[in-house]
């Protein structure tokens, strides 16, 4: 019992809790652990991403707000990390998209966000309306996106967390996805995820050691 109570305080512990509500805080009276997800604490990458997912839930939902679908997505993400079944960076991008959808900032890929013309591909994402811009419309206040990255973003947006574990994405596209989604997240919530600062550090470190990714970043900024 004591071990369960101690384990239940780990950052990613999943279980059934009986809580007592005090004046300012809750006290754990009883807990049944379903999965402590201690494997998520095994290295810097996994603990950083797991902490980021928790932080996104914290900053995007109100206190005591119930959202069953996001809870399911969070647990699914933790199981993916635990079992190392997919690229953790793409998992993060998919979870960000689910968060944006659930809180009213979802991306719309059915049509150009400016003229409403139906399109299948775009090389610009509007940074105000959060959707694609067709080749005929003004590109002001937009960000460049390559064709492969656009198709990846559209795929992640259209399919649930349980359908994305087999997708393969290039390093250059990962960088584009990160920049686009992190910008949207930082602009729409009252608090910016502090974990993003760690991502920036990790991304910068990886880019400096990978000449291919430097080329992708150069193309991204053109």
Check residue 220 and give its pLDDT.
41
**Rounded to whole angstroms, how far apart are CA atoms 108 and 113?**
8
CB neighbours of residue 127 within 10 Å: 14
Check residue 190 and give its pLDDT.
83
| Integer angstrom CA distances of residue 70 from 53, 91, 216 | 10, 14, 32
Check residue 205 and give its pLDDT.
63
User: How far from the centroid of its chain's Cα atoms is residue 126's Cα?
Assistant: 19
In order, the DSSP letters of 126-193 are ETTT-SB--TTS--TTEEE--HHHHHHHHHHHHS-GGG-TT----HHHHHHHHHHHHHHHHHHSSS--
**Rounded to whole angstroms, how far apart are CA atoms 222 and 219?**
5
Check residue 132 and give its pLDDT.
96
Residues of the chain with pLDDT under 70: 1-9, 196, 199-200, 202-222
Check residue 5 and give its pLDDT.
53
Q: What is the pTM of this model?
A: 0.81
List pLDDT tens digits, range 9-44. Answer: 677 888 887 878 888 787 878 888 888 888 888 788
**Rounded to whole angstroms, how far apart are CA atoms 179 and 164?**
20
Check residue 45 and give its pLDDT.
85
Q: What are phi and psi of 118, to 5 degrees?
A: -70, 135
Q: How far apart are the first and last CA of the chain?
A: 58
Classify residue 40 by its DSSP letter: G
Calculate Rg over the CA atoms of the chain.
19
Nearest 5°: the CA angle 190, 191, 192 is 130
Which domains, from first to last, does the chain contain? Answer: 1-36 (no CATH), 39-220 (1.20.1440.120)
């Amino acid at each position: 019992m004591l071990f369960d109570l101690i384990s239940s305080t780990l950052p990613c512990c999943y279980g059934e809790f009986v809580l007592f509500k005090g004046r300012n805080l809750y006290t754990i009276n009883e807990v049944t652990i379903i999965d402590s997800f201690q494997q998520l604490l095994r290295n810097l990458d996994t603990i950083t991403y797991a902490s980021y997912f928790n932080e996104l839930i914290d900053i995007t939902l109100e206190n005591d707000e119930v959202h069953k679908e996001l809870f399911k997505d969070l647990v699914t993400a933790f199981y993916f990390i635990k079992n190392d079944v997919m690229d953790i960076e793409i998992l993060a991008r998919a979870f960000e998209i689910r968060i944006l959808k659930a809180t009213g900032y979802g991306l719309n890929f059915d049509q150009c966000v400016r003229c409403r013309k139906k399109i299948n591909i775009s090389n610009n994402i509007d940074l105000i309306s959060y959707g694609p811009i067709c080749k005929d419309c003004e590109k002001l206040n937009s960000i460049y996106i390559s064709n492969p990255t656009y198709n990846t973003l559209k795929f992640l947006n259209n399919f649930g967390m349980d359908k994305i574990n087999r997708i393969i994405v290039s390093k250059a596209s990962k960088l584009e996805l990160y920049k686009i989604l992190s910008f949207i997240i930082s602009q729409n919530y009252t608090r910016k995820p502090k974990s993003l600062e760690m991502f920036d550090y990790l991304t910068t470190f990886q880019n400096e050691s990978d000449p291919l990714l430097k080329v992708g970043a150069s193309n991204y900024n053109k």
